[in-house]
């Protein structure tokens, strides 16, 4: 979905007007926020852990090219094949080539946001491949023909009644039920067969350890393990920023991820894959591939401030705490990654010309930065991207594309007025004297509030008559 | 943390206070003077530059901010009755002036800026006698106060010092009110939804007064209450403190 | 494709190197508990996510295993005859139809998906802080055992119960050689994808029973 200013506004208005979805999001976000808080009872310990997480990721990023080479060498030595892709199209083609080399026409997927970024499902289906999502949330969305609205809980915008209706429509043989356990058991039964027979399994990667050549995956359902264990071929796709240097760094990152994302001390499964099936082993894929996707990340890497964007471990805590996301939901953003991480990542990845409007969808309240487990200064980066959107000498693709003469002139005029003490005081004098003429309608502000009226006397005036020293 | 009481401070009123809440600014000045501290109010001051900074117009923000740098040159604290403006000067001036000839001046100033409630609690440790009528007060701390410069507890402390005030807490207390400066005009519907929820939660407490350390939030919340037709009286903490604790006018 | 590799690495190498010397300070404390406390925490965490922890001893674990199999209604049990526990099971099977992992490779998948009611594995150890089992599946105990059958029974020796994951990794020096697949298992499978409400028994086992053997 390409975000345009006009499209974004419409989607926002639709979302704000949808009481049901707003209710679903409010309840869901409240629950996630509380659950996270419950797992970080000690504020000081939490801060130490966040600092630690930031240090691990920042340090890995500081020698990213070397780490990627080390990761690649280790993976290859372990028997895992490594592929590099600059663009989603290249990555899709790599996946297709692997499948075609095996004559495979069916794929079962564990959850992968990078595969969403690639638009993998659509691409493969166009080439005659049957792709099935196995994560319950993604499975539901695939049935509904919708994209995810949250990076961790993809079907969070739906309630059980909507899901029951969906199952009734798609699986008429299964008795109708609104019971969550029954719906889940139905999904289990439907997917069981497919796990057994799929020719290729696809997964994402949460952490890739350079030291040992290990791909790490978190999950609760078991579908990730199924997809990476049962089919004879496993393809993992990931962004180049997911590499971590040492194995000992995994435990702190894991606990930060699970506690920040879903308020769990750990997920049901933590799956660490270091090689394909070895001789004598009875199960596991015979071939394991890793596709490393760039898609704009190396560009982000070139700026010392914006680089912090790449620390993200995809926990979703930022969007769980965002008052804007809570009210407009994930789909309104029109992007693969929504919420605070989305509004900084997507414009840097896809250009400010297409995604610059996203940077306005924040009051800079800082709730996101407060909870980010790797301390990405999201509000500062939003601010920086707003600057880049209006000025063409920026490093981000599409910088300057949101420059509007009218706004630029407004701020120029404001600057001329406010930096000149005499002009400023003349302005405030006029405003206070003419306060009764202040407009009752002041654009979008007065849609929801009365327009503020200047006071009878400015503080400058009151301070002077009160005898406060000038210097 | 009680730092030593200075003999003299600057007062940076902020542009919103100057034009829309001057009484709050004057109350802040009087609260400081009452503790025996001299206040200097340079008449040349205007705005910290934040509106342009947050809109992505850094050069214009810098020009206005530079004009302020020239006025607060003595090595004394600069007290600011707004957490967001204090936050701008403390947290962002160094970056704003990075690589310019004014960089060291900006850094030096940023270290001397102190938000008003933090000054009243941590430096002046003010003692007050509550002379007002019993009232229910709800507190809204701005996002800057809570998260940027982390002074959210100071306004709580100050309200607690008022013995005849009953503190009430609204739901979603830490959530943004939807002001966000230019956010309220660039994303008016999202902002409107946020302030609608904020006013509803405050109204539910039955508060007589809504107090904040930030006039941006006040303007937003008060304006929404006013449009809705009723609501508590909205005040800046300086105004509330002065009104309830000074015996003569 | 190596062209993509070259271009990506070139762009990364061209970028200025961030100075991370002052970034993120602060030590993270690791808890240290005695054995009783570790067992208590492990059991609490496991029980909270509907796993069952049966405290037993070297003398009584076989009876415990039999009771578990009966309760689970398992007609068969898949296990490795090669482990010390396996030898005992082979001598005195707790179910009517014991199945060893020595079965032919080409039957492995079908057997697991369609025939096995319960599978028993040993474990590398456990983690008290999070209520976690550590498994390094191998030729004798392949990874589908703890994944496909509806019931997974795991033997955890109390002496191998670590305080934290960090401690376990350091103590056992995992970085010196990772297996094909290393697993942390912390309960039966579950999902909260529908209305953020927990539902158990999704794609992995519906039941997890830990036989905690304490000397």
Is any Cβ of chain A less than 8 angstroms from the Cβ of C84?
A: no
Positions of CATH 1.10.1060 in chain A: 1-38+304-403
State pTM to two decimals. Answer: 0.96
In whole angstroms, give the CA distance from residue A256 to residue A248: 14
User: Is chain B touching chain A, with at least 3 CB–CB pairs below 8 Å?
Assistant: yes
Residues B96 and B29 in one domain: yes
Which of C19, C25, C178 minimises the CB distance to A51?
C25
* C164 CB-near residues (< 8 Å, 6+ apart): A251, C30, C31, C127, C128, C129, C130
Report the topology of domain A1-38+304-403. Answer: Fumarate Reductase Iron-sulfur Protein; Chain B, domain 2 (1.10.1060)
pLDDT grade for A1, boundaries at 50, 70 and 90: very low
Query: Is residue B142 assigned to a domain?
Result: yes
B227–chain A Cβ distance below 8 A for any pair:
yes
Identify the domain boundary among B79, B95, B123: B123
Q: Which residue of C has its CA nearest to A21?
A: C195
Please give the average per-residue pLDDT across A330-350, as a whole number. 96
Whether A contacts C, i.e. 3 or more CB pairs less than 8 A apart, is yes
- In this predicted model, which residue has the larger pLDDT, A255 or A434? A255
Last residue of a domain, one of B123, B150, B183: B123
Q: Is B125 left (phi over 0), alpha (psi -120 to 50) or beta?
A: left
The answer to whether A138 touches A109, Cβ cutoff 8 Å, is yes
Measured in Å, how far apart are chain A's first and last C-alpha atoms?
A: 57
Does the pLDDT at position C2 exceed 70? no
B44 has pLDDT over 60: yes
B40, B84, B190: best to mutate for the A interface, most A CBs within 10 A: B190
pLDDT at B4 (0 to 100): 86
Assess whether B139 and B119 both reside in one domain: no
A160 contact residues in C (CB cutoff 8 A): 194-195, 197
Dihedral (CA of B55, B57, B58, B63) sign: negative
Is B58 within 8 Å of chain A by CB?
yes
Q: How confident is the model at residue B27 (pLDDT cuts 50, 70, 90)?
A: very high
- Domain check: are B199 and B240 in the same one? yes
Cβ contacts of A185 on chain C, cutoff 8 Å: 201
Handedness of CA C157, C163, C164, C169 (dihedral sign): negative
Mean pLDDT of chain A: 95
Mean pLDDT value across chain C: 95
Tell me which fold the domain A63-295 belongs to.
Answer: Rossmann fold (3.40.50)
Question: CA–CA separation, B226 vs A448, rounded Å?
Answer: 10
Tell me whether residue B76 is in a domain. Answer: yes
- Indicate whether B66 and B149 sit together in one domain: no
Claim to verify: residue B119 and residue B62 sit in the same structural domain: yes
Buried/exposed A338-371: b ≥16 CB within 10 Å, e otherwise:
bbbbbbbbbbbbbbbbbbbbbbbbbbbbbbbbbb
Q: Give the one of B43, B57, B143 whose C-beta lies nearest to A464's C-beta.
A: B43
Which residues, numbered 68 to 97 in chain B, qualify as contacts with chain A under a Cβ-Cβ cut-off of 8 Å? none
Same domain for B110 and B14, yes or no, is yes
pLDDT band at B32 (very low <50, low <70, confident <90, very high): very high
Question: Does the pLDDT at position A395 exceed 50?
Answer: yes
In chain B, which residues have their Cβ closer than 8 Å to the Cβ of A389?
Answer: 56
Mark whether B76 and B171 lie in a shared domain: no
Residue B3 lies in a domain: no
| Subunits with 3+ C-beta pairs closer than 8 A to A | B, C
| CB contact (8 A) between residue C202 and residue A159 | no
Closest residue in A to C107 (Cα–Cα): A282
Nearest CA in chain A to B181: A363
The reply to whether B140 and B39 lie within a common domain is no
Q: pLDDT tens digit string along A259-285?
A: 999 999 999 999 999 999 999 999 999
Give the chain B residue whose CA is nearest to the CA of A332: B190
User: Domain of B168?
Assistant: 135-245
User: Which member of B25, B143, B227 has the closest CB to residue A365?
Assistant: B143
C-chain residues near A283 (CB < 8 A): 108-109, 142-144
Mind telling me how many Å the CA of A147 is from chain B's nearest CA? 22
pLDDT by residue (tens digit) across A26-84? 999 999 999 999 999 999 999 999 999 999 999 999 999 999 999 999 999 999 999 99
Beta bridge partners of B232: none
Longest dimension (CA), chain A: 92
pLDDT higher than 70, residue B2: no
> Which domains, from first to last, does chain C contain?
40-190+201-213 (3.40.50.10420)
B143 and B110 housed in the same domain: no
Q: Where in chain A is the domain with CATH 3.40.50.10420?
A: 63-295
Looking at beta carbons, which residues of chain B come within 8 Å of A446? 227
Q: What is the count of structural domains for chain B?
A: 2
Q: Please say which residue of B123, B150, B181 terminates a domain.
A: B123
Quick check: B183 contacting A, CB < 8 Å? yes
What are the pLDDT digits (tens) for A112-137? 999 999 999 999 999 999 999 999 99
B233 plus B170 within the same structural domain:
yes
Question: Above pLDDT 70, what percent of chain A?
Answer: 99
- Is the CB of A421 less than 8 angstroms away from the CB of B43? yes
Give mean pLDDT, residues B160-187: 96
Same domain, B15 and B70: yes
Tell me the pLDDT band of A437, cut-offs 50, 70 and 90: confident
pLDDT at B1: 45
A459·B67 Cβ contact <8 A: no
Q: What is the pLDDT at residue B236? A: 98
pLDDT at residue B112 is higher than 80 = yes
* Average pLDDT score over residue span A183-197: 94
């Amino acid at each position: 979905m390409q975000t345009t200013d006009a499209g974004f506004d419409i989607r926002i208005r639709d979302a704000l007007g949808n009481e049901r979805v707003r209710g679903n999001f409010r309840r869901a976000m409240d629950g996630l926020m509380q659950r996270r808080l419950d797992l970080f009872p000690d504020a000081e310990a939490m801060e130490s852990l966040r600092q630690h997480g930031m240090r691990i990721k920042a340090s890995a990023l500081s020698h990213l090219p070397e780490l990627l080479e080390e990761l690649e060498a280790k993976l290859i030595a372990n028997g895992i094949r490594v592929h590099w892709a600059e663009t989603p199209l290249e990555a899709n083609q790599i996946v297709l080539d692997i499948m075609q080399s095996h004559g495979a026409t069916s794929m079962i997927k564990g959850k992968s946001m990078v595969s969403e970024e690639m638009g993998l499902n659509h691409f493969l289906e166009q080439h005659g491949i049957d792709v099935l999502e196995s994560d319950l949330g993604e499975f539901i969305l695939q049935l509904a023909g919708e994209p995810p609205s949250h990076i961790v809980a993809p079907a969070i915008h739906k309630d059980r009644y909507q899901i029951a209706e969906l199952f009734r429509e798609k699986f008429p043989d299964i008795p109708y039920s609104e019971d969550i356990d029954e719906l889940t058991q139905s999904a289990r039964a439907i997917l069981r067969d497919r796990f057994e027979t799929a020719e290729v399994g696809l997964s994402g990667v949460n952490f890739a350890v350079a030291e040992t050549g290990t791909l790490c995956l978190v999950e609760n359902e078991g579908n990730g393990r199924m997809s990476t264990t049962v089919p004879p071929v496993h393809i993992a796709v990931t962004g180049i920023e997911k590499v971590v240097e040492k194995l000992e760094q995994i435990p702190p990152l894991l606990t930060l991820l699970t506690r920040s994302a879903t308020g769990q001390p750990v997920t049901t499964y933590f799956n660490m894959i270091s090689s394909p099936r070895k001789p004598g082993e009875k199960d596991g894929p015979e071939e394991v591939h890793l596709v490393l996707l760039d898609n704009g990340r190396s560009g982000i890497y070139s700026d010392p401030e914006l680089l912090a964007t790449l620390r993200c471990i995809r926990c979703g805590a930022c969007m769980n705490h965002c008052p804007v996301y809570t009210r407009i939901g994930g789909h309104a953003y029109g992007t693969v990654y929504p919420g605070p991480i989305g509004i900084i990542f997507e414009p840097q990845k896809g250009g400010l010309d297409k995604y610059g409007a996203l940077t306005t969808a924040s009051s800079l309240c800082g709730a996101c930065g407060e909870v980010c487990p790797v301390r990405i200064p999201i509000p500062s980066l939003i601010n920086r991207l707003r600057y880049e959107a209006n000025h063409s000498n920026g490093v981000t693709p599409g910088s300057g594309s949101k420059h509007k003469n009218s706004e630029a002139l407004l701020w120029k005029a404001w600057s001329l007025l406010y930096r000149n003490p005499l002009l400023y005081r003349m302005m405030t004098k006029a405003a206070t004297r003419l306060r009764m003429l202040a407009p009752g309608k002041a654009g979008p502000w007065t849609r929801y509030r009365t327009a503020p009226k200047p006071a009878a006397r400015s503080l400058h005036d009151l301070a002077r008559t009160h005898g406060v020293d000038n210097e | 943390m009680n730092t030593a009481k200075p003999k003299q401070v600057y007062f940076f009123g902020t542009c919103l206070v100057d034009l829309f809440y001057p009484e709050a600014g004057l109350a802040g000045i009087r609260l400081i003077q009452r503790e025996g501290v001299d206040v200097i109010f340079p008449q040349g001051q205007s705005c910290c530059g934040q509106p342009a900074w947050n809109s992505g117009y850094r050069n214009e923000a810098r020009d206005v901010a530079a004009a302020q740098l020239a006025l607060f040159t003595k090595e004394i604290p600069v007290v600011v009755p707004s957490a967001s403006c204090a936050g701008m000067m403390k947290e962002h001036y160094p970056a704003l002036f990075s690589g310019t000839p004014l960089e060291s001046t900006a850094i030096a100033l940023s270290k001397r800026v102190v938000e008003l409630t933090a000054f009243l609690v941590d430096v002046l440790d003010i003692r007050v006698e509550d002379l007002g009528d019993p009232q229910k007060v709800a507190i809204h701390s701005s996002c800057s106060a809570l998260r940027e410069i982390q002074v959210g507890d100071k306004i709580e402390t100050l309200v607690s010092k008022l013995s005849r005030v009953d503190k009430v807490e609204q739901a979603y207390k830490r959530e943004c009110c939807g002001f966000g400066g230019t956010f309220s005009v660039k994303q008016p519907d999202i902002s409107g939804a946020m302030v609608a929820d904020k006013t509803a939660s405050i109204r539910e407490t039955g508060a007589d007064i809504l107090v904040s350390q930030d006039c941006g939030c006040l303007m937003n919340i008060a304006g929404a209450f006013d449009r809705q037709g009723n609501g508590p009286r909205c005040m800046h903490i300086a105004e509330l403190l002065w009104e309830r604790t000074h015996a003569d006018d | 494709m190596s062209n993509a590799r070259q271009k990506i690495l070139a762009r990364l190498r061209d970028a200025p190197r961030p100075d991370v010397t002052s970034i993120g300070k602060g030590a993270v404390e690791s808890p240290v508990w005695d054995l009783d406390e570790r067992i208590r925490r492990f059991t609490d965490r496991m029980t909270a996510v509907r796993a069952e922890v049966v405290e037993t001893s070297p003398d009584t674990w076989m009876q415990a295993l039999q009771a578990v199999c009966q309760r689970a209604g398992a007609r068969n049990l898949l296990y490795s005859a090669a482990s010390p526990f396996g030898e005992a099971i082979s001598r005195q099977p707790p179910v009517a139809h014991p199945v060893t992992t020595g079965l032919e490779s080409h039957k492995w998948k079908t057997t697991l998906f369609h025939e096995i009611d319960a599978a028993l594995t040993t474990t590398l150890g456990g983690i008290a802080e999070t209520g976690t089992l550590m498994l390094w599946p191998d030729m004798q105990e392949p990874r589908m055992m703890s994944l496909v059958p509806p019931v997974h029974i795991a033997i955890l020796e109390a002496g191998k119960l670590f305080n934290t994951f960090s401690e376990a990794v350091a103590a056992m020096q995992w970085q010196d050689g990772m297996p094909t697949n290393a697993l942390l298992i912390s309960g039966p499978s579950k999902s909260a994808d529908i209305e953020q409400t927990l539902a158990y028994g999704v794609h992995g086992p519906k039941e997890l029973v830990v036989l905690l053997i304490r000397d």
